[in-house]
Amino acid sequence: MKPHDITALVEENQRLLRTLAEIEQQNASLANLYVASYQLNGTLDRRRVLEAIKEIVINLIGSEEMVMWEIHGHSLVLVDSVGIDERQFRCLPLDEQGGAIGLTAATARRFVAGESDLTAGAAHEHLTACIPLTLDDAVIGMIGLFRLLPQKSGFAPGDLELFDLLTSHAATALYCTRATAVIP
């Protein structure tokens, strides 16, 4: 075998390994989307839906600091949280006074720090993403993510797919459990 043939075989092998790694990543992403969808749509119990959302954010997206709100009137009202001081997030207006969180809810446009034309502002300096929860093009709630886990430097394409899943599936799940819920 000629050296040029060996070089071509090595290059082809490396290309195939990269393709295999991409396919494995896509399979993992699809599996994560399936598990997340199943968790959100598998119950009408409000506590279980909230726990499913938190599990998706913590285990699949990689943030242990988050807040969930529902819209009541012209405000975002805190429903649940993990790892943050709830006092500053109990109730936020749906406008610029609510910072990036309020504006995201008002416009239904996702906020990702460093990728959005909005800024988090001093009041929400560790905000990394806001995910509007929409049902029939109306925002019914929000998820705010603060600080990613130390081993995570940013959001991957699979995370953005999970954001899209949360936008619709978490909204539907929360809406369906609203009738039995008591808002704090």
Q: If you search the block for the tokens 């309020």, which residue do you land on?
A: 102
Question: What is the residue type of 133?
Answer: L
Q: How far apart are CA 163 and CA 29, in angstroms?
A: 12
Q: Which residues share a beta bridge with 70?
A: 77, 141
| pLDDT score of 116 | 65
Report how many domains make up the chain. Answer: 1
Q: How far apart are CA 77 and CA 23, in angstroms?
A: 41
Give the Cβ contact number of residue 23 at 10 Å: 10
> Residue 131: which domain range?
3-180
Per-residue pLDDT of the chain (184 residues; tens, 9 = 90+): 677 788 888 888 899 889 888 888 777 767 776 777 777 777 888 898 999 999 889 988 999 999 999 999 999 999 999 999 888 899 999 888 888 899 889 999 999 987 766 555 545 678 999 999 999 989 999 999 998 999 988 898 888 888 998 998 899 999 888 766 555 5
Q: How far apart are CA 101 and CA 144, in angstroms?
A: 7
CATH code for the domain in which residue 24 is found? 3.30.450.40
Q: How far apart are CA 163 and CA 128, in angstroms?
A: 13
Structure tokens at 68: 């969930």
For the chain, how many helices (H) and strands (E)? 5, 6
Handedness of CA 94, 73, 50, 24 (dihedral sign): negative
| pLDDT score of 117 | 62
| pLDDT score of 182 | 52
| pLDDT score of 158 | 84
Angle of CA points 37, 69, 153, to nearest 5°: 65
